[in-house]
A and B are shown apart, each in its own frame.
Chain A
Amino acid sequence: MPLGGVIFITVFVSIFGCLCLYLGRTFGGKKPQDNVKLSAYECGIPSQEKKETRVSVKFYLTAILFILFDIEIIFMYPWATSFKDLTAAGLGAYALIAMMIFIAIFIFGLFWEIKSKALEWD
């Protein structure tokens, strides 16, 4: 049932955004362009670098680590929803120990990551 609403509002918002851009273009007008004006913004001096400037590989590493940990966290969600039910059904000890083993691996991973200096920024 909510899918229709999600699609509807996404389309509506996109149209709204495009309309805003169109209005800006219509009322904003266009003044003469030259090469200096069209160049990428720089603090008063000619730009020294191309747009494909070098960036630190740390960002890439952070993204990879994020995916690993995010997937581990997502696995905790279904467990969390049913934990109270499991406790009520007498399976609480089993559910708790199972998740504690999983979290122990998670903590081990986190410590390994800190130890291997993957999170050091300089």
Chain B
Amino acid sequence: MGSDAFEITINCIKLILVFLLMVQAVPVLVWLERRGSGFIQNRFGPNRVGPLGLMQLLADAVKFLTKEEFSPKAATKLLFYAAPVFALIPGTLGFAAIPMGSPLHWGNYVFPIQGYDVGVGIVFILGVSSLGAYTILMAGWGSGNKYALMGALRASAQTISYELALGLSIVGIIMMYGSFNLSEMIHAQQGTMVFHAFGNTISTSWLPNWGIFYQPLAAIIFFSAAFAESNRLPFDLAEGEAELVAGFHTEYGGFKMLLFFIGEYGHMMVASGLMVTFFFGGYNIPWTTTEQVYQWALGLMDSSDGASALTSLVHFLSYMIKLGFFLWIFIWVRWTLPRFRYDQLMDLGWKTMLPWALANTIVSAIVIFAVSYSW
């Protein structure tokens, strides 16, 4: 975690800040979702409490807090209470591993603007985010309710099915960057587009060097599978209201329900963050490199410490804007597409997305092999 007490303290504070950022984003996203869905459906959404209805968040929190604490008699108490607490963990661990800004050089210290820089970033994030299936099963089994159990089984079968397409779609990305590390991927995507093919170097000045231009199919598969992973519409079969009441959280209310909400939005944020990191240049500002931003900051600030801090801040804002854009797409899609039927959902995952992801892997490998020869 660091070499001395100062560095360890800063790293711990940073981790807590990342977590609080995630928790704080949830009310804002809920507001955005209700408000956005209101406008999409030609109504207003919450607009009575405070300016633009923003105080609605606070009112909701108070409402959640004062709800009666309740667990049904048939519930397995330990699982019932442990599930909402565990729901927070996958999202937080995944989100903390995504770089949110260029590393901050302060004196002799280097602080990465992320929770922790894991060498095998992708594998770590895929690993912890699949722990979400356990949370759902715990909640479903622990509730002692048949609707909850069926919802949980559906949700976990769906999550693991789409994990295959999700995992396979990024093999092409790993091949292209030759690394599991997210920071290295972001580093490879800065500036304008340059690639080496057949012994020549081809460069353009009008396209940013983003992954989506090299792996467009992977981007589509990854993003759709991410919807299924986080149990969002059009894949929210876990809580098909018409048949399963509310799925695995039928018996939950109050703060327990809120924790599930934070977990779900955490999943969305991890998915959006990975989308930005793999395909849209991470924290980089389009068309520029980290070095260019640093030189610009050096012109404004006197010290190199200050310039590094300003660079990190600018990159952090850039990352947040990109992240917000993808979170908005999550909300937008929810109110645009209808829900799938369960057999259609499984067919899409196993018979459509998995073969396409496999084809993407094979084509990427052949192309990378072919362009390495100079003709």
Q: Which residues of A contact B (CB under 8 A)?
A: 1-2, 4-6, 8-10, 12-14, 16-18, 20-21, 23-25, 27-31, 35, 38-41, 43, 47, 49, 51, 53, 55, 58-59, 62-63, 66, 69-70, 73-74, 76-77, 80-85, 87-88, 92-93, 96, 99-100, 103, 106-107, 110, 113-114, 119-122
Are B358 and A106 in contact, with the CB atoms below 8 A? yes
- Could you say which interface size class chain B belongs to? 35 or more
**Helix, strand, loop or mixed for chain B's interface?**
helix
- Please name all residues of chain B whose beta carbon is closer than 8 Å to the beta carbon of A23 when the two chains form the complex: 65, 255
Are B372 and A87 in contact, with the CB atoms below 8 A? yes
- Please name all residues of chain A whose beta carbon is closer than 8 Å to the beta carbon of B362 when the two chains form the complex: 100, 103
Are A110 and B355 in contact, with the CB atoms below 8 A? yes
Are B372 and A24 in contact, with the CB atoms below 8 A? no
- Please name all residues of chain A whose beta carbon is closer than 8 Å to the beta carbon of B119 when the two chains form the complex: 2
Are B85 and A17 in contact, with the CB atoms below 8 A? yes
Identify which of residues 86-102 in chain B touch chain A, using a CB-to-CB cut-off of 8 Å.
86, 88-89, 92-93, 96-97
Beyond A77-B171, A80-B171, A110-B355: 11 further Cβ-contacts under 8 Å?
Answer: A5-B115, A9-B15, A9-B19, A24-B65, A30-B68, A40-B144, A51-B144, A53-B149, A55-B149, A59-B153, A76-B168
Are A73 and B89 in contact, with the CB atoms below 8 A? no
- Whole-angstrom distance between the Cβ of A56 and the nearest chain B Cβ: 8
- Please name all residues of chain B whose beta carbon is closer than 8 Å to the beta carbon of A84 when the two chains form the complex: 175-176, 178, 368, 372
Nearest B-chain residue to A58, judged by Cβ: B157
Are B118 and A2 in contact, with the CB atoms below 8 A? yes
Interface centre among A35, A47, A83, A113 (most CB of B within 10 A): A83
Q: Does B272 contact A (CB under 8 A)?
A: no
Are B256 and A119 in contact, with the CB atoms below 8 A? no
Identify which of residues 6-39 in chain B touch chain A, using a CB-to-CB cut-off of 8 Å.
11-12, 15-16, 18-19
Q: Does B194 contact A (CB under 8 A)?
A: no
CA A91 – CA B168 in complex, angstroms?
Answer: 23
0/1 string, B238-258, CB within 8 A of A gives 1: 000000010000110011101
Are B92 and A66 in contact, with the CB atoms below 8 A? no
Are A59 and B65 in contact, with the CB atoms below 8 A? no
A–B complex contacts, Cβ < 8 Å, 30 sampled? A1-B116, A2-B97, A2-B117, A6-B116, A8-B1, A9-B16, A13-B89, A17-B84, A21-B259, A24-B67, A38-B72, A39-B73, A41-B145, A55-B150, A59-B154, A62-B157, A66-B164, A73-B164, A73-B171, A76-B171, A80-B174, A81-B174, A100-B365, A103-B358, A107-B355, A113-B350, A114-B350, A119-B346, A119-B351, A121-B343
CA A62 – CA B366 in complex, angstroms?
Answer: 31
User: Pick the contact of B368 from A12, A28, A87, A93 — CB < 8 Å?
Assistant: A87
Are A12 and B369 in contact, with the CB atoms below 8 A? no
- Please name all residues of chain A whose beta carbon is closer than 8 Å to the beta carbon of B312 when the two chains form the complex: none
Q: Does B147 contact A (CB under 8 A)?
A: yes
Are A88 and B372 in contact, with the CB atoms below 8 A? yes
- Whole-angstrom distance between the Cβ of A96 and the nearest chain B Cβ: 5
Are B118 and A87 in contact, with the CB atoms below 8 A? no
Nearest A-chain residue to B1, judged by Cβ: A4
Nearest A-chain residue to B162, judged by Cβ: A66
Are B254 and A59 in contact, with the CB atoms below 8 A? no
Are B342 and A70 in contact, with the CB atoms below 8 A? no
CA A55 – CA B167 in complex, angstroms?
Answer: 28
Identify which of residues 333-375 in chain B touch chain A, using a CB-to-CB cut-off of 8 Å.
342-343, 346-347, 350-351, 354-355, 358, 361-362, 365-366, 368-369, 372
- Please name all residues of chain B whose beta carbon is closer than 8 Å to the beta carbon of A76 when the two chains form the complex: 168, 171, 361
- Please name all residues of chain B whose beta carbon is closer than 8 Å to the beta carbon of A66 when the two chains form the complex: 160-161, 163-164
Nearest A-chain residue to B87, judged by Cβ: A17
Nearest B-chain residue to A113, judged by Cβ: B350
**With A17-B259, A77-B123: A25-B160 Cβ-Cβ less than 8 Å:** no
